[in-house]
Amino acid sequence: MLQGRRVLLAVTGGVAAYKSAYLARLLVEAGADVEVILTDSSQAFIGPQTFAAIVGRHPHTDLFHGHSVSPHTDLARWCELVVVAPATASTMGKIANGISSNLLTATVLATEVPVLFAPAMHTEMWEHPATQRNLSTLRSDGHHFVGPASGALAGGDAGIGRMAEPEQIMEAIAGILGGSDGSLRVLVTAGGTREPLDPVRFLGNRSSGKMGHAIADEAARRGYQVTLVTASDLAVVPSVKVVEVETAAEMLEAVSGIEADVAIMAAAVADFRPARSGDEKISRSEGLSSIELEPTPDVLASVIDRENRPYVVGFAAETGDLDRAVAKTMQKGVDLLVYNDVTEPGSGFGSDTNRVVIVDPEGNTDRWPLLGKREVAARLLDRVNADLSARG
């Protein structure tokens, strides 16, 4: 499942560290290449020799006394995923606030790969406002989380704060690394199309393209082969292949030439365009009593209708009832639909956050809280990976 994938397992100072040894065993059995970081506090619960015996190499424990001149940057560049399990409140707080006081925090701050946290702490610590603020910051920065669960805690206590079981963490790892061997081809559309009325004016919408660009960035960060067809001029990471378009017709033409395993159609494609577009600017003095409109080509339908169709995610920016989005999911035949009400605070065009509802082909809905668009992108790709894994 993870053959040859490079996973850095970082263990912090919680009693759940004993589970991390089993997690290391599961990673090795799945074919992963595993390096381990142990904090000083973690070694009060479990020793380096345990992990050395499991992964076949000695854990990294110090910034300054190893063989490497710069161990944090070496590890940060080597790995494809960092898994912090258990993740204590202290470690999460340091990373959220950019404090690189040990090998683990310095490595996380130096890496550009996904980071998965498996929090573990007492209920009171998990629910403390400071922990929740740090959690929100880490999520906004695009990091991933699995757990915590409710159950038995240290000292005979019980409640939320128990580290997720190693099997659950493995599922989360597979969701993140599922296609990041570079074989998964991902097509993303973004931005709002502009349909010209004359050389100066156009019909369009308020879409900024931020959501689609965040998806393209996250997909590229996971190692996918990403092509972004966009009507926006926002920057993207260098590995993304960008095709710039302006109109719905241009987007259709660009998309039709791109083969993909997953198509995430986040663009706000205009539904109508002027039936006639003048070659010269329409003069105010001449007046314009009406504009005749005609439908634009359906870019989403063109992808769904392919003989070798990809997994398709549609987007629906609406201003009303969720029932309309559920009906659209059935009608369009998408594998998932991402619905958001653009009239909700923080969920409109141009914002850095989004509040979405995921709708599946059976009409089931999953309401997500208000999140940064980077986190929406990460969660969406996790969901797509899970669906693809379930399909084999």
Contact 266, 380 (CB under 8 A): no
Burial per residue of 231-267, b for 16 or more beta-carbon CB atoms within 10 angstroms, e otherwise: bbebebeeebebbebebbebbbbbbeebebbbbbbbb
**234: amino acid identity, one letter:** L
Query: How distant is the alpha carbon of residue 136 from its chain centre?
Result: 15
Please enumerate in sequence order all residues whose Cβ is within 8 A of that of 114, keeping only pairs 6 or more positions apart, or say none: 81, 82, 142, 143, 144, 176, 221, 222, 378
The DSSP call for residue 150 is E
CA atoms of 267 and 207, how far apart (whole Å)? 8
Q: What separation, in Å, do the N-terminal and C-terminal C-alpha atoms of the chain show?
A: 11
**Nearest in space to 202 (alpha carbons), one of 296, 342, 67, 297:** 296
The structure tokens listed for 31 are: 């074919």
Which of 97, 102, 134, 205 is catalytic? The answer is 205
Please enumerate in sequence order all residues whose Cβ is within 8 A of that of 13, keeping only pairs 6 or more positions apart, or say none: 39, 40, 41, 42, 44, 45, 88, 90
Query: What 3-state class would DSSP assign to 94?
Result: helix
The structure tokens listed for 45 are: 């619960």
CA atoms of 349 and 341, how far apart (whole Å)? 10
**Nearest in space to 373 (alpha carbons), one of 209, 242, 164:** 209
- Look-up of token digits 């695009």: 142
CA atoms of 104 and 109, how far apart (whole Å)? 9
The DSSP call for residue 331 is H
Q: Is 205 labeled as catalytic in the residue annotation?
A: yes
CA atoms of 144 and 211, how far apart (whole Å)? 18
Q: How much is the CA Rg of the chain, to the nearest whole Å?
A: 24
CA atoms of 83 and 7, how far apart (whole Å)? 7
C-alpha pair distances (Å), 335 with each of 107, 245, 264:
37, 25, 10
Task: Count Cβ atoms within 10 A of the Cβ of residue 169 and give its class: 0-12 exposed, 13-18 middle, 19 or more buried.
Answer: buried
Which residues carry out catalysis? Answer: 205
